[in-house]
Amino acid sequence: MPNFYDLSLDQLRATLAAWGEPAYRAAQVWAAVYRDLAASPTHISTLPKSMRSRLAAEFQFGTLTPARELKSSDGQTRKVLFQLADGRAIESVLMGYAQRRTACISTQAGCAMGCVFCATGQMGFQRHLSAGEIVEQVIWFARELKAQGDRLTNIVVMGMGEPFHNYDGTLKAVDILTDPGGFNFGARRITLSTVGLAPMIDRFASEKRQVNLAISLHAATDDLRAELLPINRRYPLAEVFGAARRYFEQTHRRVTFEWALIAGRNDTPEQARAFVKLAHGLDCHVNVIPLNPTPGYGGQTSTRERVARFKSILEQHGIPCTVRVRRGIDVEAGCGQLAVQTT
């Protein structure tokens, strides 16, 4: 059976119209599933029993099965391994902060980008997730939080996979989650992260969405970036920054650059100054994080002193820079650590 979460609102309307249902039924179903977080049509009391039965017979209301959960020692990070219907699996993370509850969701099983320091990249690519599989990760966490009297405040599309490699599925999921008649999640509270697929950044810019854009940069010279991120051979820094500037020109939204600091590789003053030249005149922000360990990469985490020096050079040139708090490292839920682990 098809997954209900793969439906857009227009597709739901067309389906119910074909069943001979009145037009208002689609809005009722949509609100029950996404606003009230009904887990199955049997819970939608506003519908006739016959319609509930048909929905249950025609659609699966979710295809992800939580197979394993790990909590960090501080209790603030929760990583879930979801089994997919075809036997593959993904990991997703819920992070708690003083005022925020952030879901980090995946868009692919594995990843084709091959970033050397990323556990997902070390897995290789398996397949794209459908829009419904992306949506369902968010809804699962939203239900969990609702049961605790809490709610989701932010979504970062920074889990397994490259969101812009699965552009249509990812953006359809965003549209479902931000629809005002349903889940109604604020677009400005969603951040999409890409390794720099320049044509997709241009496409994203042309659609003028309110969703935040982050670019995983990690180096400011082509030779080093190509060693760390093989995609740089196809889209070198000039193309990535060209797309970033066009994005800002069209949307007037600031670009965030992400940078995993690796001791002695990309945490040097030379790399910081090279970034300053590339970013001259661009409204941007740099989010740095000391490298998180992964089994397939031997690079070391930058020291506190090197992180501080890197940050200081950027700020001296007027580029805002923050050091991201490392979360869930003890359960391998940090940035770049997600991979399918079943034991």
Residues annotated as part of the active site = 91, 335
Tokens 């490298």 found at: 291
In sequence order, which ranges of 47-87 are alpha helices (DSSP H)? 49-58
Separation CA 163–CA 172 (nearest Å): 11
Contact 257, 298 (CB under 8 A): no
Residues 108 and 134: their CA atoms lie apart, in Å, by 9
Pair 185, 177: CB distance under 8 Å = yes
**Contact 253/215 with Cβ under 8 angstroms?**
no
Of the candidates 199, 125, 131, the residue with the CA atom closest to the CA atom of residue 162: 125
85 DSSP 8-state letter: T
Cα–Cα distance, 66 to 80 (Å, whole number): 7
Lookup result for tokens 């902060």: 97
CA neighbor of 157 nearest in space, from 202, 79, 215: 215
Structure tokens at 80: 């879930």
Residues 118, 336 contacting (CB under 8 angstroms): yes
Torsion sign across C-alpha atoms 67, 81, 293, 320: negative
CA 314, CA 309: separation in Å to the nearest integer? 9
Alpha-carbon gap, residue 35 to 151, rounded angstroms: 12
Whole-number Å distance between alpha carbons of 110 and 125: 4
